[in-house]
Each structure stands twice: as C-alpha cells, then as structure tokens.
Amino acid sequence: MRKVVSYFLVGFLFLQGCKKTEEITVQHGKYEEFNVAVDPSLGIVTPKALVYLPPNYDPNGKYPVIYMLHGFGGDYRTYIFYNGVHEILDHLISTGQIDPVIVVMPDGRNLVGGSFYTNSLLYDPSSNSYAPFPVFGLYETYIMDSMMAQIERTYPVDTTKRAIMGLSMGSYGSAKLWLKYPARFKAVALHSGPLAFDSLITVNIIDSMLSDFNNRRLPLWIKDYLGRERIWATLGNGLSAAFSPRIVAYQDPADWRVTENCFYSSGGLDSINGEVLLDTLTVMSMKLCIGVRFPFTYDTAGKPLASCVDPALPDNFTKKALTETYCVWKAFHDPQTLIDTALARDAAGFNDTRVYIDVGKKDELTLLSHNRGFKQALLDKGFPDSNLVYVEFDGAIGYPAEMFPGLHSTWLYVRLNKAFTFINRALKGEDIKAGDYDAAEGKDYE
C-alpha cells in the first residue's frame, strides 16, 4: 500500500510540475513631483507632493483619487522610495484587483519632523485658547484648501470618488481631516494611528516619555533630546508643537541670555507646567523664544484632575499630571472626540463613509488600545458596522507571531494591499466586507 501511495504522490507532483505557470505582465505607471503654489504665511516647509499616475494613464479620462499621508519623520517621497507603493499599485491594477487610480502623497514634514496635518496656532495657556498666528505651519489649511484644490484642477480627478489614508501620523491626519470634513471623503484607511487620546492615560504614557530624559524630567532646552533614539520625547515634542506651541517675545535684546530670559522673566516659558525651549530667533529687533507646552505638570500635589479627565480611568501618574492643556488637545485634536464634530457638521456624509482600520497587536508605540477605542467609539456613536473593517495584525499564515510580530509598521505590504482593495470596493459602492481580509493574518477580522 505504501508503494502505491508513493507512486501516486510522485505522479501527482510530476503532473503539477508540467502545468504551465500563468505569467503576469505587470504594467507600470509613473510618478511625478508636483509643486504646490502656497501663501508663505501658511508656513509650509516643503509644498510638494508626489503624484502616482496609473498604467496607460489618460489625461482626458476620469480617475478616483487617494490622498496618502506619510508618518512622522518621513516626507512626500517616503511611500515611493522606502515602501515601494508604486509597485504595489502597479501590480494591483495590472492584475485587475483594483481600478486605475491617482494617488497623491503630500509633504507633511515641518521644522520639528512632522506636522500631524494640523494648523499649529499660537497657544495661550492663560486662556487655554489659540491666537490666529501660525507657529509650525498651517498644514490642515494647506492640505484641504491649497494642495487638494490645485491637484484636482491639474489632474482628471473624479471628486465623487475621493479617499484618504495614512500610516501612524498619516493615520492620525487622515482620521482628523475626514472627521473635520466628512463630506470630502468616501473612504478612509487608517494604519496604526493615535486615534483615542484617553488611551494615553491607560498606558501611563508620560512615564515612557520621561524615560528619554535625564533624571526623568523635561529639560529646559529640548532639542538635544530629539531623534530616533529618543522616540517618545521626539513624538511628544511633535504633538506639542502641533497642538500647543508657545512663543515668548522680548523687545529689548540687551543682555540677552537665552535660557534665563526665556523662562525667568515676566510671561516667560513655564517649566513647571511642561513648557520647553526649542530655539530662539531674532526678528525685527525682537528676540523670540520658540517652544512648546507639553500637556502635563510635575507639581501634582493637591492638584485636581484636569476637567476633561474621566475619574474612572486608571489612577496613575499620567492621569494626575495632565493639565487643562490636555483638555485643549482632547477638545480640538482628538479623533475620538472629533466624531461628535463630524456628526454635527454632516451626519449623513459621516455615516456614509467606508472606513478601514488596522493595527499591530504588539504595536511598540502602544497604539493598539487607541485603535480599539476609536473603533468602539465609532460604533457607539451609531456608525454603521457594515461600513467598517477592522483588522489586528500579529503574524500571518506560515509566519508565526513570535517570529514575525505585528508591530507599528510591520506587514505594511500586506496591509496596503488590503487597504487599496478596500478603497477600490468602497469607491465603487461594492460590499467592503466581501474580500478575504483575514487571509494573511488568519485572525481578528471584524
């Protein structure tokens, strides 16, 4: 009997080997640099984008468009030159998995490494409000008004088929811009984004950030503590530059001493309440201290909880240290909070959007809880479950999680394939859950 089985297997394998392998001819699109005409007062560092045009591009045609936002520390070239997105798109289009599409990759990098696609306005801690003065760039206005309008005048875009997507900071920007302009986008894809700010409390994130500094205390002068080796400090500084930037101006430059004057004079930066200095500038005979305010204080003794902090959240240092600056962050910049903004502005447009969310189960930036929280908040606010696809990555079929874990940006090739396929179905009005989204990871598809 064993011989019969062996002969059968040999014959089967021989016949399989004789089958003609189907060849796939991948046609190639192209990408080109697009210069955005922008008002200098917006403070945009690099007003450029890369635009992917599909194979057999016809300037007289009509194409869906995807705005693809990069992560912190990247720029408009990252998705092409580092992630090979053009090759992913070429393959999906050539094999008929998605329709030809234009993909626009704008630059969201500012002077501190990443804008979070936010209007960085001068923050006044005395009133917890903003003054109409740009500090690190008005990137929301730039993307939604300047860049998008010029792209759609230049290329044959079907504005009824518009999507936005991104990784990390780009995921945050995609969620925020969708929620503030719900009528603009028919589909959204979010990869590993900071989407629910109260999750910062549950993981006691301030302790993680303080570990990047000497003696676990914010330094007065922070720029020497920024870089890839201090990721928490760098990201915290970037968020603070977007959400609560500070400028202190001095008319008299006499006896100028940087640190002393920036902090220890009337109206100077408040180090106790988390204000740090980034740099100084001389402008029109004035000395400017350019800094940011982190959303916490060291002085927690006898301090009441910040007004927006839920007393039921875990009682840890982060919860006790958060200030009213955090409440400003949450009110104006937290995607989970901005769900209410979207419902108030255009409930029908919001509920009609198709949304894809994915995150690594072992995300080293602790963003798993953010994505779970944001997904649940969408559903709790009445967002249709039929319009939502949610995936958590942790290994894949043939690639065990202990060897190939789902981290912040791992499995990106698989995840982008899923997202592009999802967006294609969404823009065509097809069933977004018809696809086998869990084929690669084998679990956790909802």
- N- to C-terminal Cα separation, the chain: 46
pTM: 0.91
Count the Cβ atoms, other than its own, within 10 Å of residue 253.
11
> Residue 338 has which token pair?
């901005």
Angstrom distances, CA of residue 91 to CA of 30, 86, 95, 96, 103: 13, 9, 6, 8, 14
What is the per-residue pLDDT for 370?
Answer: 94
Return left, alpha or beta for 194; rule: phi > 0 is left, psi -120 to 50 is alpha, else beta.
beta
pLDDT in tens, 379-394: 999 999 999 999 998 8
pLDDT in tens, 139-198: 999 999 999 999 999 999 999 999 999 999 999 999 999 999 999 999 999 999 999 999
pLDDT along the chain (446 residues), means of 10: 46 48 82 97 97 98 98 97 96 96 98 97 93 96 98 98 98 98 97 95 86 86 89 94 93 63 84 90 84 91 92 91 95 98 97 96 93 96 95 81 88 92 96 66 41
Residue 437 sits at φ, ψ, to 5 deg, of: -65, -30
Architecture of domain 30-116+137-196+334-428: 3-Layer(aba) Sandwich (3.40)
Contacts of 254 (CB under 8 A, 6+ apart): none
Give domain limits for the chain: 30-116+137-196+334-428, 201-329
What is the per-residue pLDDT for 445?
Answer: 41
